[in-house]
Amino acid sequence: MKTGKVWLVGAGPGDIGLLTVKAVETIKDADLIVYDALIGDSLFSLFPEGAEHISVGKRSGNHTMPQEQIDKVLLDEALKGKKVVRLKGGDPFLFGRGGEELELLAENGVPYEIVPGVTSPIAVPAYNGIPVTHRDYTSSLHIITGHKRKGSDEDIDFEALVRTEGTLVFLMGIARLGYICGGLLDAGMDPDMPAAVLQQGTTAGQKRVVATVGTLAEEVRRQGIETPAIIIVGKVCSLADEFAWYEELPLAGSKVIVTRPRGMISGMAARLRKLGAEVLELPSIETVAREDQSELEAALDAMESYSWIVFTSPTGVRVFFDVLKKAGRDVRSLAGLKIAAIGTGTKKELSNRNLIVDFVPSVYDGETLGRELAELVGEGDRILIPRAAIGNEELVMELEGAGAEVIDIATYDTRDASQDLVDEKGLFENGKIDCAVFTSASTVRGFASRNPGLDFSLVRAACIGKQTKHAAEACGMKAYMSDEATMDSLAKLVVTMKQQ
């Protein structure tokens, strides 16, 4: 049997945008992903469909799987011929026990690679406006684990650290914050030395407490802090307010769920991330092309008889052209036809195929599309609509009411999508999600179906149109509607909701 391979991949500090290109490529090609609790929720969207995944849930003082067992899982699964990704928060070689995990692999001749990650001692201060080095303040950086190994007498040489006069970053040290500050003071550090605790940096939970070594422990007790968090000590901490930038972004501190189908979700997620949001891509529906496309194939044989072809979604466009290609045809089959698209997203999908759309309705929904297109068609015109099996009936009714013959063909099905990586219900119940973004009534229904028992009044829903908004309100959600049925307008709505 062919031996597989293990990749130790650094997941970075939490923001999906800080993953390296190689890390993304490696994750997407994995057969099995073994991941820690400290990786950002947004990274789950990169896990390939069909890949196995195992959570080893490692947090300070709470390991759901002992290190020795993790090592054995990596070895056993690689020996089965699998491409195994060991996904670790930050960088695998910086207090990540990456070296330990390689020992068993090396002993057994299993090939492996290391994919370094952006590390929190540099990235988290940067997201808080703190440069870890600055020539006017310090020229050295020292990274120390604040976590004392169980059963070990190892401890921190505070006198040596004070002598460096450099920036000190303590990882996994929040439980020992008083001890660390006290040790630095006893070793001679100026009690007025700037210091900070940085919570959940690069994510929506980011928070900083800036004080001095002499007052930091008390200030953290007063303001509260959640782990994971790092401690940073040094004159550079005084620059935090001057250089702060993350909180200036419109959606800084917001955690948003986007529910579009997997193939259509990235554009919306990218818009929100640019505005500062932490985005969880959790499709609530999936679209699947029908195996039996005989109706559409028959329609292709009679394309010259149609006056219009109407597309109601980007997915409908993609499926149509896939069938067209399999039938040995190309865009010349559409010669003489006029093309209608329900909105800008569908229009863009057609434009990508060098097709000019003749008609887009003033409001991007099926009812308006039918009503306004009905004014352009004549008695006896044949109209082809290749779309989802569950489509807007008013579109057909409006066109038939104008005397047109409508051939409404189901080319793909929409069904609820499941996921077991993120506890959506728990996130809403604990107030961790600011809003959920819905782009169709079916995404609302899929979300509701996936979260039975959730009090939907806890969900603030950003909706793209009135049908979507009505579906959200029917579930009991607090629903808001974008001014226009476009992704840009929907993103603006999310910003407006944050300000309310």
- Active site residue ranges: 36, 58
Cβ atoms within 10 A of the Cβ of 215, count? 14
* DSSP strand pairing (285-289 vs 405-416): antiparallel
Determine the Cα–Cα distance for residues 340 and 360; give it in Å rounded to an integer. 6
In one letter, which amino acid is 234? G
Q: Please state, in angstroms and rounded to a whole number, the distance separating the CA atoms of residues 471 and 477.
A: 9
The SS3 assignment for 458 reads helix
Please list the residues that pair with 207 across neighbouring strands. 199
CA-derived radius of gyration, the chain: 28
Q: 97 with 34: CB under 8 angstroms? A: no
Closest C-alpha to 361, from 405, 335, 326, 394: 394
DSSP state letters, 338-375? EEEESSHHHHHHHHTTT---SB--SS-SHHHHHHHHHT
Q: Which residues contact 298 (CB under 8 A, 6 or more apart)?
A: none
The answer to whether 222 and 245 have CB atoms below 8 angstroms apart is no
Give the distance, in angstroms, between the CA of residue 424 and the centroid of all CA atoms in the same chain: 13
CA dist., res. 244 & res. 241, Å (int): 5
Task: Decide: 407 and 308 in contact? Cβ < 8 Å.
Answer: no
Residue 316 near residue 288 (C-beta atoms within 8 A): no
Residues 370, 373, 378, 384: is their CA dihedral positive or negative? Answer: negative
What is residue 240's DSSP assignment?
Answer: H
The 10 Å CB-count burial string (b at 16+, else e) for 477-500 is: bebbbbebbebeebbbbbbebbee
